[in-house]
């Protein structure tokens, strides 16, 4: 996939969206039928909240009704740890499961994907991450099919090849890796499952959708496919996130955010992310901040920083977010994009600074180092490639 | 897939775009590498024109360089015959090929897909078609991977599950069938291959792209995915078809039409086609008319007929085709859509009538019967469902 991205500049691109998406309220009940072709025994990944509210049991019921054997791994927490992944991989092998289902948010889906890598290839999950202190081990085999059932609308992980995990032994550092064979075979996207998300989680995951698509759309790896997906998702997020945040029971807004998240996942699968993700993940690793929240402080400032390098694209972002700007002159319209993002952050109570998230001036040198060593690809792909000093200054402006 | 389409109205939809698309000028040279994972011996489908200009040989060279065994079936003609399919299926089995490559336009790709059905399941290809004088035989197995290399930008067949074939024993009647497992595993879309298309073929295939997306976008099975794909493709076709028609060497216009065709293929994979396709295919079966040409006479008239039933959608079509209409009132904007299509048809010398294509008043009863018996799904999905009398009247108005 990285090779494909390298040649994007020559007018080459590729499309790879193999996940069969089954979308609609109530479609969770089809999960048993969906799984029949993948084997007899499944490891179901889930989290303590979904267990508590009975959703895990409901899924187990649908699976058992089809005669499937089910083992669960349901202790996953936000910002999943490499140690948890390794534990799950052990269970996957010991229990001789045929395939996996990830029921949950990005943390659960990433844990499931990473466990498949470890169970298929051996070693430890941290061996595979990019930009760490060691050469990453290559993924050779992917021996288990992955089915995803997202319960948040944020990470896009239900359709992407990407994984982000944290290492508790290294100050909780986050790192990413991925392989195109880890893309889910099927994703059941049922907006009814998102209704239970509290407003704060709706906001942080929704801002993740917005930032995925914004960063990918303006970055230098954007392809015709990514451009189309991104603009549609930006429009959906701008129109529906405040509604879903204000009234979590609005199923139409939930459905539109869930669909925007699928589009955003496909977008970053083809064009990657950009500097806000790198800056946010560096901070999020240090202070265990929810992923979407960690990106919020720098999103609009980074847009202002990048604006002049891609006026047409930022103007299109503004138009996708607010049709009323359509007759403005180009520069004005482009400038409007960061204002609209600031307004949206305020509307969902995420107008936060890095200081609000405990980051201090003293952390900045360390964070800049993490941005460049672990998320260098996100810097390289920016429409205005920043220097180290400029990244430090962006952190400073967002304290 | 038909089940999925039936439930589209309940807010359910699905996405299934498994084809890995490798897009860009010159990428044909990657075909050998692409094929390695699919087996040792391939049946290459092609046509006499591509053989004459040396393209078939070029592809054989790339394949042999990778050590692949190659058998060719290169006698395919426009509006492919079920008898030709059956012959090719025999070769596929006798030669014990592992997979197939279709190098050509829709006729070649459809022949290859249909030959895979017959070689995998037995019988004759006409046994499998829908809406004929017999119950269609179901596709049980799909035993050969399909790789497509389109050389026209029209049918979308490089990424769809659909097949259209003609029966010489039945007045050349056309009929369709399909199965989602027939979707190509990989499609190499190289716009340099489209440069050799003469203007008339550029026009007819380009109008097919436009009609696929128009019909699918306004039809009752349209999904959020299909809507997004369709609008992007309509915009690309309106902007680039006259350029590609006027100057076939304009590689940028060729690339944009090739991409629009992929989008159009995905669109109809999810939302099907509508009445103009049914009317055109009925006429095209009777008089062996190129597919895109057969649709041209009725496209704008059908839009006028359907307009009021879907004002918002036709207004969006107009805006996609010409940004200058954006500030018009809704009804005016919607009305503009059919005018823009008429203008585009004129710009590519396809402002033809059914009479120009040899259809007469005396054929109309027969054609209406074919529309309803063979392409009933295309009638059912229309935003304004016509009566038989109205279809007859549409034919009459377009003579």
Q: Per-residue pLDDT for A303 more than 70?
A: yes
Question: Half-sphere exposure (CA, 13 Å, Cβ side) for B377?
Answer: 17
Do A139 and A201 fall within a single domain? no
Question: Chain B closest CA to A19's CA: distance in Å?
Answer: 7
Measured distance between the N- and C-terminal CA atoms of chain A, rounded to whole angstroms: 35
Q: What is the pLDDT of residues A177-225, one digit of tens each?
A: 999 999 999 999 999 999 989 999 999 999 999 999 999 999 999 999 9
CA R_g for chain A: 20
Are A27 and B7 within 8 A, CB to CB? Answer: no
Q: Is A11 an interface residue toward B (CB < 8 Å)? A: yes
> Are the beta carbons of B11 and A255 separated by less than 8 Å?
yes
What's residue A131's pLDDT?
Answer: 82
Provide the shortest C-alpha distance from residue B87 to chain A (in Å): 32
How much is the pLDDT for B8?
Answer: 46
Provide the number of structural domains found in chain B: 2
Residues A232-250, mean pLDDT to the nearest whole number: 98
**Beta-carbon separation of A18 and B21 below 8 A:** no
Is B291 a residue whose pLDDT tops 80? yes
Indicate the residue among B142, B167, B194 that finishes a domain.
Answer: B194
Contact A237, A292 (CB under 8 A): no
Q: Does A329 touch chain B (CB under 8 A)?
A: no
Contact status of A362 with chain B (Cβ, < 8 Å): no
Distance CA B300, CA B298 (A): 6
A286 and A253 in a common domain? yes
Range of the domain at B104: 2-194
Strand partners, B150: B104
Q: What number of other Cβ atoms are within 10 A of residue B396's Cβ?
A: 11
Q: What is the largest CA-CA distance in chain B?
A: 63
Whether residue A295 contacts residue A207, with contact meaning beta carbons closer than 8 Å, is answered with yes
| Total Cβ atoms within 10 A of residue B29 | 14
| Cross-chain Cβ contact B23/A16 below 8 Å | no
A224 at B interface, C-beta within 8 A: yes
Which residue of chain A comes nearest to B7, CA vs CA?
A24
- Tell me what ipTM this predicted complex has: 0.92
In whole angstroms, what is the distance from residue B281 CA to residue B399 CA?
A: 15
- In chain B, residues with a C-beta closer than 8 Å to the C-beta of A7 are 24
B314 & B375 share domain: yes
> How many C-beta neighbours within 10 Å does residue B355 have?
12
Chain B residues closer than 8 Å to A263 by CB: 228
Residue B211: left if φ>0, alpha if ψ -120 to 50, beta else—which one? alpha
Q: Is B180 on the interface with A (CB under 8 A)?
A: no
Residues B83 and B161 in one domain: yes
The verdict on B228 and B346 lying in the same domain is yes
CA distance B394 to B399: 9
DSSP secondary structure string for all residues of B360-390 = -GGGHHHHHHHHHHHSHHHHHT-SSPPPHHH
Contact B19 A23 (CB under 8 A): no
**pLDDT tens profile B308-326:** 999 999 999 999 999 999 9
Give the pLDDT confidence of A26-72 residue by residue, as tens digits: 999 999 999 999 999 999 999 999 999 999 999 999 999 999 999 99
Same domain assignment for residues B160 and B270? no
The CA distance from B18 to the nearest CA of chain A, in Å, is: 4
Name the minimum distance, in Å, from the CA of A262 to any CA of chain B. Answer: 10
For B399, how many CA atoms within 13 A lie in the half-sphere containing its CB?
13
Q: Which of A193, A223, A240 is the last residue of a domain?
A: A193
Q: Do A303 and A356 fall into the same domain?
A: yes
Chain A CB within 8 Å of residue B262 CB? yes
More confident residue, B199 or B2: B199
Going by pLDDT thresholds of 50, 70 and 90, the confidence category of residue B119 is very high
What does the radius of gyration of chain B's CA atoms come to, in whole angstroms? 20
Q: What is the pLDDT of residues A124-173, one digit of tens each?
A: 999 999 988 789 999 999 999 999 999 999 889 999 999 999 998 987 68
CA distance A102 to A115: 11
Q: What is the mean pLDDT of residues A296-302?
A: 98
Say yes or no for a CB contact (<8 Å) between A23 and B15: yes
Write the DSSP string, B223-248.
-HHHHHHHHHHHHHHHHHHHHHHH-T
Q: Which of A378, A5, A317 is nearest to A174 (CA)?
A: A378
Looking at the fold, whether B190 and B244 belong to one and the same domain comes out as no
CB of A198 within 8 Å of any CB in chain B? Answer: no
Cross-chain CB nearest to A25 (options B11, B22, B326): B11
Torsion of CA B136, B274, A229, A241, to 10 degrees: -110
- Kindly state whether B395 is in contact with chain A, defined as any CB-CB distance less than 8 angstroms: no
As given in the structure block, the two tokens for residue B74 are 């290169």
Same domain, B309 and B164: no
Q: Is B25 in the A-facing interface, judged by CB distances under 8 Å?
A: yes
* Of residues A12, A20, A25, nearest to B24 (C-beta): A12
Q: Does B15 touch chain A (CB under 8 A)?
A: yes
Q: Report yes or no: B266 at the A interface, CB cutoff 8 Å.
A: no
Residues A272 and A281: their CA atoms lie apart, in Å, by 14
pLDDT, tens digit, 9 for 90 and up, residues A178-191: 999 999 999 999 99
A307 DSSP 8-state letter: G
> Are residues B21 and B122 located together in one domain of the fold?
yes
H-state helical runs in chain B: 2-6, 31-35, 48-52, 55-65, 82-94, 106-121, 199-218, 224-246, 251-271, 275-287, 291-306, 311-321, 330-347, 364-374, 376-380, 388-397
A229 touches chain B (CB under 8 A): yes
Mean pLDDT calculated for residue range B127-135: 89
Put simply, whether A214 touches B (Cβ < 8 Å) is no
CB contact under 8 A, A11 and B255: yes
Angle (CA) A35-A39-A44 rounded to 5° is 65
Question: pLDDT tens for residues A78-114?
Answer: 889 999 999 999 999 999 999 999 999 999 999 999 9
Cβ contact, residue pair B18, A18, below 8 Å:
yes
Nearest to A16 among B12, B20, B259 (CB): B20
Of residues A15, A23, A262, nearest to B12 (C-beta) = A23
Same domain, B212 and B103: no
Pick from B16, B27, B229: which is nearest to A20 by CB? B16
* pLDDT tens track for B23-51: 999 999 999 999 999 999 999 999 999 99
Q: What CATH number is given to the structural domain containing B53?
A: 3.40.50.1970
The pLDDT of residue A5 is 40
Confidence (pLDDT) at B3? 42
**Are B247 and B162 part of one and the same domain?**
no
- Tens-digit pLDDT profile for residues A248-291: 999 999 999 999 999 999 999 999 999 999 999 999 989 989 99
- pLDDT, residue A10, reads 66
With an 8 Å Cβ cutoff, is A12 touching chain B?
A: yes
Of A193, A221, A236, the residue that ends a domain is A193
Q: B381-391: per-residue pLDDT in tens?
A: 999 999 999 99
Residues of B in contact with A17 (CB under 8 A): 15, 17-18
pLDDT band at residue A7, thresholds of 50, 70 and 90? very low
- Per DSSP bridges, beta strands B13-23 and A13-23 are antiparallel
Is any Cβ of chain A less than 8 angstroms from the Cβ of B327?
yes
A180 close to A341: Cβ distance less than 8 angstroms: no
B187 vs chain A: nearest CA distance in angstroms? 10
Taking the CA of residue B351 and the nearest CA in chain A, the distance in Å comes to 31
C-alpha dihedral, A256 to A258 to A259 to A262, nearest 10°: 160
User: Which of B8, B14, B156 is the best substitution to test chain A (most A C-beta atoms within 10 A)?
Assistant: B14
Contacts of B362 (CB under 8 A, 6+ apart): none
Kindly report the nearest CA distance between residue B140 and chain A, in angstroms. 15
Per-residue confidence at B285, pLDDT binned at 50, 70, 90?
confident
pLDDT digits (tens, 9 = 90+) for B314-368: 999 999 999 999 999 999 999 999 999 999 999 999 999 999 999 999 999 999 9
Q: List strand residue ranges (DSSP E) for B190-302, in order.
A: none
The verdict on A168 touching B (C-beta cutoff 8 Å) is: no
* Chain A residue numbers touching B228 (CB-CB < 8 A): 228-229, 232, 263
Q: Indicate which CATH number applies to the domain containing B358.
A: 1.20.1090.10
């Amino acid at each position: 996939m990285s090779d494909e991205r390298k040649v994007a500049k020559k007018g080459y691109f590729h499309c790879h969206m193999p996940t069969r998406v089954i979308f609609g309220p109530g479609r969770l009940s089809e999960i048993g039928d969906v799984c029949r072709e993948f084997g007899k025994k499944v490891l179901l990944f889930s989290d303590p909240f979904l267990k508590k509210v009975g959703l895990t049991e409901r899924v187990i019921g649908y699976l058992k009704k089809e005669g499937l054997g089910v083992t669960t791994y349901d202790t996953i927490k936000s910002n999943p740890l490499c140690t948890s992944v390794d534990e799950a991989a052990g269970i996957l092998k010991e229990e001789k499961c045929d395939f996996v289902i990830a029921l949950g948010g990005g943390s659960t889906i990433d844990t499931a994907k990473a466990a498949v890598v470890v169970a298929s290839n051996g070693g430890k999950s941290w061996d595979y991450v990019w930009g760490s202190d060691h050469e990453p081990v290559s993924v050779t085999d992917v021996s288990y099919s992955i089915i995803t059932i997202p319960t948040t609308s944020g990470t896009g992980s239900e359709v992407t090849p990407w994984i982000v995990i944290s290492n508790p032994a290294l100050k909780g550092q986050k790192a990413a890796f991925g392989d195109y064979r880890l893309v889910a075979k099927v994703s059941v996207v049922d907006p009814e499952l998102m209704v239970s998300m509290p407003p704060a989680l709706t906001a942080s995951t929704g801002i993740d959708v917005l930032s995925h698509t914004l960063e990918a759309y303006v970055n230098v790896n954007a392809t015709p496919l990514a451009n189309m997906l991104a603009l549609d998702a930006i429009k959906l997020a701008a129109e529906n996130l405040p509604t879903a945040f204000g009234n979590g029971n609005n199923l139409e807004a939930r459905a539109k955010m869930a669909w925007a998240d699928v589009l955003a996942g496909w977008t970053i699968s083809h064009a990657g992310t950009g500097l806000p993700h790198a800056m946010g993940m560096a901070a999020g690793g240090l202070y265990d901040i929810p992923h979407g929240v960690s990106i919020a402080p720098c999103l609009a400032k980074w847009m202002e920083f990048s604006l002049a390098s891609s006026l047409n694209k930022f103007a299109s972002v503004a138009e996708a977010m607010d049709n009323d700007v359509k007759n403005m002159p180009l520069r004005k319209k482009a400038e409007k994009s960061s204002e609209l993002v600031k307004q949206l952050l305020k509307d969902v109570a995420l107008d936060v600074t890095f200081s609000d998230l405990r980051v201090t001036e003293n952390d900045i040198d360390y964070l800049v180092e993490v941005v460049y060593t672990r998320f260098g690809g996100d810097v390289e792909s920016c429409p205005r490639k920043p220097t180290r000093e400029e990244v430090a200054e962006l952190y400073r402006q967002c304290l």
